[in-house]
Amino acid sequence: MMSKASFLERRQTPKESSSVTIFITALAIILALLFGSLLFLPFGVDPFKAYSTMVELSFGTLRGIGYTLIKATPLIFVGLGTIFAWRSGFFYLGFEGTILIGAAAAVWIALLTDPEGAIGPLPRLLFLLLVFLVSFVAGGIWAGIVGVMRGKFGGNEVILSLMMNFVALFLVNYLVSGPLRAPGDLPQTPRIPQATILDFIIPGTRAHSGILLALFAAIVVWFVLRKTTIGYKQIVAGLSPSAAWYGGINVGNRVILAAFIGGGLGALAGMVEVLGVHFRLLDGLGEGTGFVGIVAALLGKLHSIGVVIASILYAGMEVGADVMQRRSGVPSSVIFVIQSLIVLFILASDILRYYRINLSKLFGNDRGKKTLEVDSST
């Protein structure tokens, strides 16, 4: 038992309705933006004008929307992988690695289908199916190593997955500096064939069809977790492993499946980055995207629709920050601090799902009364 301020009264059951979740999340974002507005004052910039400019730059033009969707696409894939893994009780943090593995697999297949490659040109649909499957399986196997260590041997997936990030980083560094290196001074592979590049979907922008695949994946993940037996078993295994065992569910196998699917989704983020943005494998590709995608999943309350919205919000803020820095001289790091404040406020706002605020006690009308004893673990 933990003593809390008397104005917090524990609810008998947590608030789980969608309307309450939306209200609490919106309130947290507004408060974070209000506190974040103080960061603009030392630069002599009107915070409300800065926010409106940032929204206009990110969503007010086709060019801005295009850049926002480009940055949101890999975040959505990583966020979906986080949902599937974390809902299953597998707290995987290795998406930085799966992005690199997926990117390497996609470049490998693309180069093989070059006119001078080992396979040669393929029909476009066949190529897309092949590169999708190879990238997904490569990322699934990579994360599956951690899944097996956790599911069969009781290893700590947090530490193992973080270590695997470094292994993937050094592996890609070896590939772009050695066997796959293109002629020149930069550590990178040759450019992939034009026929393997994803289609652009918004005229005048570089927004590619990867966003459509990401939205489709969001629907699939939602359907599998909410409407299928497989999803039910994954969620039960995540919520209560002991209850799952008593119910005949092999928790170890569920962990391995969560690792494979989560890692595969994370690898698709790397695939769309090389097929839609960079067109080659680079040292440091997607750096930071894996961790930001996890944050997007948390902001979206581990829900597919929430992940899509949070990813687009984060991407829009990043695009607006880059342009605003060039125009007004406000460091983009200010926006990153505001992003962190949004995460902090949203995570902190979860307390309102479990406790209600008694305003009369908050303002001192019951000072003589005993402080409520509440359990913070539920």
The closest alpha carbon to 7, from 371, 377, 376, 375, belongs to: 371
pLDDT, greater one: 308 or 336: 308
pLDDT tens-place string over residues 7-64: 666 766 666 666 767 777 788 888 888 888 888 888 888 888 888 888 888 898 899 9
Give the amino acid at 362.
L
Q: What is the pTM of this model?
A: 0.87
What are the tokens at 174? Answer: 């070896």
Residue 222 has pLDDT above 50, yes or no: yes
E-assigned strands of 223-275? none
Q: Per mean pLDDT, which range of 43-57, 73-87, 339-353 is the poorest?
A: 339-353
What does the pLDDT average to over 103-123? 92
Long-range CB pairs of 223-228, under 8 A, 24+ apart, other chains included: 224/84, 225/83, 225/84, 225/87
Residue 1 has pLDDT above 50, yes or no: no
Q: Would you list the DSSP string of 1-52? A: -EE--TTEEE-SS----HHHHHHHHHHHHHHHHHHHGGGGGGGT--HHHHHH
Number of residues in the chain: 378
**Residue 66 binned pLDDT confidence (cut-offs 50, 70, 90):** very high
The closest alpha carbon to 267, from 176, 164, 343, belongs to: 164
Angstrom distance (rounded) from CA 284 to CA 82: 21
pLDDT tens-place string over residues 239-279: 999 999 998 999 999 999 999 999 999 999 999 999 999 99
